[in-house]
């Protein structure tokens, strides 16, 4: 499946590529990342392959990421209008200013105006709430975002890094008041981060939010670069992100990925990406390429189709232990409809049923 086999994002008509180009590493302002020239090369190659979905944030590389995208795309109308350009608000770029970040009306409007200026465009296709602001009522946030949509400055809304119950509240409030609601959910999701399957993934599927996973390779732990054989020998530029995850559990997963990759004549990274992309509810997976070679390799994940047996093996290695009430869910069919088959699933009777001859009180 190539990049130009587009999918609609959540409960919307917005068409996006199955892999989204993440721009968090555009710019070298933090001591790591891609140079301006390399960033532009990556953008051009992604677009040439048919990709149309690019994601950034107002404070990535101290806002340089947005500026790079603005210089290369925003100022060129023919290029800009063919791209689904997404950015985020919440991050505070101004130390000492309590209203410089968060999700208040003042912060949102200010952040949007600054992002539009840096991106050199008069509209943002997809505007994400980046990180939940516990100090701002969600109705204030949704009302401010709806105003941006009605003003034509924003086309669609998404939410990232926020509890499922708060996202549900936001969308229910928006729909009852006739405001624009979130259509996308951006969450960390990978073979090494599956706790989102407890609440966030089911919530997104129920409410019609398209899932766009970030860090599908767990900061590079699943890139194939770090293996049991070279443990401790290969150092990462952002070791503080990666080092805590170079554990026996990770090496066991990488070992299995290597076996599957060999069977597909592919790579560890592509197989790990293919697993994420195959998960229920996932629309477009964010790939963050610092080098052109990484982009070229990651895009080929769309050519990998994992078998059910391979998916089952990876699932068995990484399946999370979900807490209450999910720990009780296996009991529910027997309690609800024990002794019958419903939607293709048979459940034996629970231990609380009446026996023949028993009378209900």
Tell me, what's the pLDDT at 353? 76
Quick check: bond before 221 cis, omega within 30?
A: no
H helix or E strand, kind and range, residue 73 = none
pLDDT, tens digit (0-9, with 9 covering 90-100), for 81-96: 999 999 999 999 999 9
**What is the b/e burial string over 304-340, where b = at least 16 CB atoms within 10 angstroms of the residue's CB?**
bebeeebeeebeeebeeeeeeeeeeeeeebbeebbee
The answer to whether the CB of 66 falls within 8 A of the CB of 60 is yes
Nearest Cα residue to 139 out of 102, 111, 166, 112: 166
pLDDT, tens digit (0-9, with 9 covering 90-100), for 242-265: 778 788 899 999 999 999 999 999
Mean predicted confidence (pLDDT) in 342-354: 86
34/289 Cα distance (integer angstroms) = 9
129/148 Cα distance (integer angstroms) = 13
Tell me, what's the pLDDT at 43? 97
Q: What is the largest CA-CA distance in the chain?
A: 81
pLDDT, tens digit (0-9, with 9 covering 90-100), for 204-225: 999 999 999 999 999 889 998 8
Using DSSP's 3-state secondary structure scheme, residue 87 falls into strand
List the catalytic residues. Answer: 60
Tell me, what's the pLDDT at 42? 97
pLDDT at residue 239 is higher than 60: no
pLDDT at residue 186 is higher than 80: yes
- Who wins on pLDDT, 323 or 209? 209
For Cα atoms 54, 22, 124, give the angle at the middle one, nearest 5 degrees. 35
- Who wins on pLDDT, 56 or 32? 56
Lowest mean pLDDT among 54-68, 88-102, 214-228: 214-228
198/143 Cα distance (integer angstroms) = 29
For Cα atoms 226, 259, 250, give the angle at the middle one, nearest 5 degrees. 35
Tokens of 199: 């609440």
The answer to whether the CB of 160 falls within 8 A of the CB of 24 is no
pLDDT, tens digit (0-9, with 9 covering 90-100), for 29-52: 888 899 999 999 999 999 999 999
pLDDT at residue 235 is higher than 80: no
Nearest Cα residue to 63 out of 101, 106, 96: 101
């Amino acid at each position: 499946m190539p990049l130009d086999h587009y999918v609609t994002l959540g409960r919307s008509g917005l068409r996006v590529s199955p892999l989204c180009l993440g721009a968090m590493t555009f710019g070298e302002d933090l001591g790591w990342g891609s140079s301006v020239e390399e960033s532009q090369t990556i953008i051009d190659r992604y677009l040439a392959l048919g990709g149309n979905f690019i994601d950034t944030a107002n404070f990535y590389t101290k806002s340089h990421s947005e500026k790079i995208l603005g210089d290369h795309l925003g100022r060129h109308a023919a290029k800009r209008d063919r791209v689904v350009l997404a950015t985020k608000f919440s991050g505070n770029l101004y130390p000492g200013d309590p209203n410089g970040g968060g999700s208040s009306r003042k912060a949102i409007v200010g952040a949007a105006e600054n992002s539009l200026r840096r991106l050199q465009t008069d509209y943002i296709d997809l505007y994400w709430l980046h990180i939940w602001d516990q100090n701002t009522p969600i109705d204030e946030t949704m009302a401010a975002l709806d105003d941006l949509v009605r003003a034509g400055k924003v086309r669609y809304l998404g939410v990232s890094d926020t509890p499922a119950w708060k996202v549900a509240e936001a969308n229910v409030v928006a729909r009852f008041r006739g405001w624009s609601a979130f259509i996308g959910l951006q969450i960390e999701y990978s073979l090494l981060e599956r706790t989102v399957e407890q609440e966030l993934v089911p919530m997104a599927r129920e409410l019609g939010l398209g899932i766009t996973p970030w860090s599908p390779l767990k900061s590079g732990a699943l890139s194939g670069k770090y293996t049991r054989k070279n443990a401790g020998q290969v150092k990462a530029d952002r070791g503080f992100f990666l080092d805590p995850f170079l554990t026996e559990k990770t090496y066991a997963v990488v070992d299995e990925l290597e076996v599957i990759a060999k069977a597909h004549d592919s790579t560890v990274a592509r197989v790990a990406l293919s697993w994420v992309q195959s998960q229920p509810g996932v629309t477009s997976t964010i790939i963050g390429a610092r080098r052109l070679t990484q982009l070229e390799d990651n895009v080929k994940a769309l050519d990998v189709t994992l078998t059910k047996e391979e998916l089952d093996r990876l699932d068995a290695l990484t399946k999370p232990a979900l807490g209450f009430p999910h720990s009780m869910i296996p009991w529910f069919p027997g309690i609800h409809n024990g002794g019958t088959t419903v939607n293709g699933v048979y459940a034996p009777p629970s231990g609380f049923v009446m026996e023949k001859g028993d009378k209900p009180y």
